[in-house]
Amino acid sequence: MKVPFFVAICLLFVFASCSEYQRVLRKDDVAKKYAMADSLYRLGKYKKSLKLMEQIVPAYRGKPQAERLMFIYANTYYELEDFYLAGYQFERFTQAYPQSDSAEVAAFKSAKSFYELSPRYSLDQKETDKGLEKLQEFINQYPNSAKRPHANELVAELRYKLEKKQFEVAKQYLRVEDYKAAIEAFDNFILDNPGSEFRAEAFFRRFESAYELAIVSIPSLVQERLLTAKGYYNNFTKYYKDTEFAAEAEKIMQDINARTVTTETEPTT
């Protein structure tokens, strides 16, 4: 079977290119490595380009080509979605070249790399905190940047994730019937997150937790804790009486009133 002429030419070109790449990779000619790394980077062949850059980055420190090399080195990690190294290398770039024309882009991509490392809300949120810190640093440093709206969107996403984490921890205390811990956790959530979309439910769940704590308490503590629950109900209705939790809150409150009246009308001995 004959290979078409055009296909044969393409195959020869590919083999020749691969062979040339391997030769440059093995040799000690730093200039050729730089030229080929730059060419491969422009073509989007990041893995091959990275292998060459890893060999020459130390040799170019302090030289005129270092600024561009360090930027594309960091951006190669970014394009390959190795966000841990991308964030680190972009951070190094901004520290080494704060006056560079690429400093703003590098600062944003460094911050976004840490954003990309943020895990789902149920896991440890150390990387989320780091991402928020870096994004806020970018916003503060470049307040007029065209990338600021996008940075603000990323900040909002990460803050939502932290809110979700804190809120779900509080709900878990309620689910496992650790009502004291639930009340404290919902208290902290309400204080920490004044604009959260979970705030209405947090007010309601705090009230629910206080009610549950009251009805499982020893008799001498029931009335005091029912009064505390009433206070939480009043706080809920003050701000969120028209929410989806209102009907359930009212039902609980009717039971609290019934329990309070029953106790108050019992004959004393």
Domain residue spans of the chain? 32-168, 177-264
* Residues 267, 46: Cα–Cα separation, whole Å: 84
* Residues 49, 33: Cα–Cα separation, whole Å: 9
Token pair in block for residue 127: 């990387």
* Residues 37, 50: Cα–Cα separation, whole Å: 7
pLDDT for the residue numbered 12:
39
- The residue among 38, 131, 123 whose CA lies nearest residue 83 is 131
Residue 191 has pLDDT above 90, yes or no: yes
**Residue percentage of the chain with pLDDT more than 70:** 90
Helix, strand, or coil (residue 242): coil
Exposure pattern of 226-257 as b/e (b: 16+ CB <10 Å)?
bebbbebbeebbeebeebebeeebeebbeebe
- Averaged pLDDT, 225-240: 96
Helix, strand, or coil (residue 192): helix
Please indicate, yes or no, whether the overall pTM of this predicted structure exceeds 0.75. Answer: yes
Q: Give the model confidence (pLDDT) of 215-228 as tens digits.
A: 999 999 999 999 99
Please tell me the least confidently modeled range out of 59-63, 86-90, 112-116, 167-171.
59-63
Token pair in block for residue 181: 């811990």
194/10: higher pLDDT? 194
Hey, what CATH topology would domain 32-168 get? 1.25.40
pLDDT for the residue numbered 1:
44
pLDDT for the residue numbered 15:
42
| Distance, C-alpha 168 to centroid of its chain | 16
* Residues 200, 120: Cα–Cα separation, whole Å: 23
Q: Give the model confidence (pLDDT) of 119-166 as tens digits.
A: 999 899 999 999 999 999 999 999 999 999 999 999 999 999 999 999
Question: Sign of the C-alpha dihedral, residues 242, 181, 177, 129?
Answer: positive
